[in-house]
Amino acid sequence: MDDFPFAIASDKAVFSELDSKDGGVVLFKKFDELRNDLEGDVTPDAIKKFVSANSLPLVVEFSHETAQKIFGGEIKAHNLLFLSKKNAESEKMIESFKKVAKEFRNKVLFVTIDTDIEDHERIMEF
């Protein structure tokens, strides 16, 4: 949880501007829905689970930076899509992958692996 900047607000103007409410928890992000609102009880465990579940995109691109989040996270089921980003159809395939990922959010982690990157050869051996 230390990796996430956070703020606490008590000003009604802030609640109005952010379309939030007093006591609410909102996660702002730069991908997918751009924000998620915690529903249900606001407890430390609920907040931790909420942030963990929503802090990754629906489809995560594998890299050295994301590897720990992918394989060290709470979701142990992974759907891996191996593709060449040089392929003209790759964006279309990723969009289709995202549609399915929405149905399995918080159950299965959907990961793309660019086969053009030499460092990814070890993953393809498995």
pLDDT, mean of residues 17-39: 92
Q: For 64-109, what is each residue's pLDDT tens digit?
A: 889 888 888 888 999 999 999 999 999 999 999 999 999 998 899 9
Residues 6+ apart with CB under 8 A from 75: 106, 107, 108, 109
Q: For 5-15, what is each residue's pLDDT tens digit?
A: 888 888 899 98
Please report where in the chains the tokens 């050869």 appear, as a residue: 121
pLDDT, mean of residues 4-25: 88
